[in-house]
Chains A and B, each alone.
Chain A
Amino acid sequence: MSADKRYSIETSQLNLWYADFQALINVSVKIVDGLITGLIGPSGCGKTTLLRCFNRVNERYGNVTTIGEVQILGKNIYDSDVSLPELRKNVGMVFQRPNPLPISVYENIIFGLRIHSEQRRRKKSQTDEIVEAALREVFLWDDLKDQLKVKATTLQLEQQQKLCIARLLPLKPRVILMDEPCSTLDAKGTRAVEELMLELAGHYTILIVTHNMAQARRVSDECIFMLLGEIVEHTRTEDLFLMPKSTKTADYIEGRYG
């Protein structure tokens, strides 16, 4: 790797336990700014856990101990002066199952803004613009411009998932974490979301957990293979799939286990 790359996420010696079970072991990775990085590995290898470390939402799920450093844009997010709401505003997350809130499309998109600027009443024209811009960015505007008042939970799954991505954009995040964002979508929805990701790359650093090897190859620039809580290999996607250095990686991508 050349030295002039900028990294938006750097972890060093990251260890994480759920009660007594160690889910991450000495994880040290550097995620390049503005690229799409894929996280692959068999179920239970810690991909999702690692992803959730980056906005510290792990801590909401009970008995979790984290040791080590996670620097995002140069700042260790486990420092005591880090505000979780501010962190999560800048590091957005998209889930496996689309989870729009049970409110209108419009309200879903400005939900984040409302959360972060309660006092300031925004003008209607201003929020209208924000909603339109966010929906345009995820190619939903033409589909939904007449349905802004519709309850978001009644949309098609593909639209819901795009909406969940659009919901993050008004907060101007730097990093978007995606946890198997296409696993509940059909082929057409998957392609649409993948196209959207490629479009968003560059503006945002995107991390995507996926079980779908083909998807990892299609969308990611770099790829990380994890096994049993450890990073096995992290390199350019083409290299990982064409000439894996580790035999474990080779076994996995060729479908011998996982």
Chain B
Amino acid sequence: MPTDTVPSSTSPDSPEIIEPKLMFTATEQSRKKQLTENIARCIFFVMTLLMILPLVLIVVYLFVKAAPILSPEFFFMNPEKGMRAGGIWAPLLGTIYIVIISLLVSAPVGVLAAVYLNEYARESWFTRIINLAVVNLAGVPSIVHALFGVGAFVYFARMGRSVLAASLTLAIMTLPVIIASTKEALGAVPMAFREACWNTGATRWQTIRGIVLPNSISGILTGVILQVSRAAGETAPIMFTGAVFFKAISEGDVLAYGLFDRFMALSMHLYQLSTQVPGVPDALEYGTAIVLLGTVLMVNALAIVLRVYLRSRKRW
């Protein structure tokens, strides 16, 4: 015989009857919840402010300190008098060289590898290993990349300490991040577009060329450009692979470095000024720092502008 069929009309869980007029007024409990809510929102807002504060302070501080020296000559003169005077032409040009050359190597390799991994490769132990390698390589400290660069490029490939060896070391360092960011950009293109292409008989390449790349190019470029700032800022990977304390080059000549020359770079120069040379005028150090920071911020801003522009042209 079923025993559980009798409905209990006086269940202990049934809500107590509230007077309709009081139904929507705040209770003790809801006031407490509101208080917690306000506190939480406040904390999150303060943390967000804290994030902006250091950047603003750093930029303002650097500008004030560097103001006396910032002039066109500062950019176009070599360091002089044992680094205690002159400008930053040689290191600035060196940084531009290694950034461009390293990206010429890592961007095509990274983007094409990511296209393969995302568009062609099937899930298998092989692709899993590669993906794992990419993630782990991205986490390798830059000094380890530097040592690899010394072994592989400077000695084994006999490039010596040179622009090329340093650029390739930076390329190895930026490669995994470019692969990861490109894969992410490709992954953001809806699968439905690919299905639509495949089902009209498009090959994978036609699909990539016609639909996937045009719709992911903004993300891909942003990822690549952000690596510019990383390549420009790193000191460790170039320290042992080609950057030197001092090298005089002809001022104003943009082709002053050869591929196998040693070179100066901004990040390294700043490190030397602040630790190795006594009696450097403050303004010189801060001037170098602001140029380095300015370059990075400008490149990042460029990435944002480019992303906004390319995004405005696509819609799905």
Contacts and interface: CB of A to CB of B under 8 A. Distances in A.
Interface of A: 55, 57, 60, 62-63, 84-89, 92-93, 95, 97, 99-103, 111-112, 114-116, 151, 153-154, 164, 167-168, 171
Residue with the highest number of chain A CB atoms closer than 10 Å, among B122, B197, B200, B211: B200
A151 B316 CA distance: 9
Interface of B: 122-123, 190, 192-193, 195-203, 206, 210-211, 215, 314-316
B81 to A, nearest CB: 60
A31 B289 CA distance: 74
A167 B198 CA distance: 13
A89 B192 CA distance: 18
A111 B198 CA distance: 11
Contacts of A99: 190, 192-193, 195-196
A62 B202 CA distance: 18
B200 A171 contact: yes
A88 B316 CA distance: 25
Contacts of B122: 62-63
A60 B201 CA distance: 12
Given A62-B122, A153-B315, A154-B315, A102 B193 contact: yes
Contacts of B211: 101-103
A112 B201 contact: yes
Contacts of A103: 211
Residue with the highest number of chain A CB atoms closer than 10 Å, among B197, B198, B201, B316: B201
17 contacts: A60-B198, A85-B202, A87-B201, A88-B199, A95-B195, A100-B196, A102-B193, A102-B314, A102-B316, A103-B211, A114-B210, A115-B200, A115-B202, A115-B206, A115-B210, A116-B201, A167-B200
B77 to A, nearest CB: 51
A97 B192 contact: yes
A62 B192 CA distance: 16
Given A62-B123, A151-B315, A88 B200 contact: yes
Given A102-B215, A102-B315, A115-B206, A57 B199 contact: yes
A92 B199 contact: yes
A164 B197 CA distance: 11
Nearest to A153: B316
A88 B314 contact: no
A62 B127 CA distance: 13
B116 to A, nearest CB: 15
A96 to B, nearest CB: 10
Nearest to B207: A115
A185 to B, nearest CB: 16
Contact of A85 (B193, B195, B203): B203
A53 to B, nearest CB: 13
Contacts of A57: 195, 198-199
Contacts of B192: 95, 97, 99
A237 B316 CA distance: 38
B201 A115 contact: yes
Contacts of B315: 102, 151, 153-154
Contacts of A88: 198-201
A52 B165 CA distance: 51
Given A62-B123, A111-B210, A153-B315, A101 B198 contact: no
Given A63-B123, A114-B210, A115-B202, 20 more contacts: A55-B199, A57-B195, A57-B198, A86-B201, A87-B201, A88-B199, A88-B200, A95-B196, A99-B192, A99-B193, A100-B196, A101-B196, A101-B210, A103-B211, A115-B197, A115-B210, A151-B315, A153-B316, A154-B315, A164-B196
A92 to B, nearest CB: 7
